[in-house]
Structure 1
């Protein structure tokens, strides 16, 4: 999965993009606390601060057009892409969100032992925090165009995560394009679908950011 994403980054660079791949907190190589930060994911999305900081740094560089900074990612990167567009459309001009989580509260309901989760004494607080850590909680400030891609047989992130987000964005008249990968899963078992998704991603970013 990530080897293919690296290849896409190289292709985008070859097209003329300045590509910055962020090793945000939750990643590896910087010790336990970096890999297991407080308030990350559905507990506060603290790792998004690294994505925002990367975008703000790019905006200060003389070789970057600060009005044409895009963002893309798949899976957890899709979640962070959606969060960036939802919270900081003034920073990120367009994005490609590939099978990301958009509503942590609903995602947790689909996890194993979800029924036990709701029995916890702090379940209501946790559900509220999970929602606030989700892109859908900030959809009111989402103005940048987005391309959302998802497979309809995804076993990791339910397909309805993207269906729900698309409906919310359309109601707010945000420019949304979609691609449904039929009869495939989260990790693109068919290599032809990997190529399809990556070509579509590159073409969308070219159309939105290289004009």
Structure 2
């Protein structure tokens, strides 16, 4: 039986989920700049870094890990490890010139990302564990706080540029452009400008910035 609304079409459903994620993700980095963000960004850059390995996406999906749900995935890994050797660690993924709130696990000295991505990411990446983050009970479950302030999804080196990117993306979508195309256009223009700014390139075994 043919459908007209796409609700019974898995491909349409997956597309809608991805578009919802793109919209949510773009908006998460459009919050106003603050003194707290700038101060925290500088503090985090001084913390030691580790190299994390990301297993293949199909392996993570096969064991029940959910795309882009890193905190829940790592909490489940720690809770369900029969040997009790998995440790859930939260902190910051280094992404160009920005820091992304993220969770990984440490198992016998090996650092692993348990979270599959909609878009394939690098097999290895640098991560900054942050013991100053604490999880508190909130209306929607547990939420991360640092220094008494609820932690956003990321810390930005150039908040104003992210706000411009969000406003441009929002205007393109409102004009009728498909979400994925709007994201790509913004990434190719304003995103390219952001990538030309200073990158947070880590040095193995060091916490210095180049």
**TM-score, reference length from structure 1:** 0.27
Larger Rg: 2
Per residue, is there more helix in 1 or in 2? 1
Per residue, is there more strand in 1 or in 2? 2
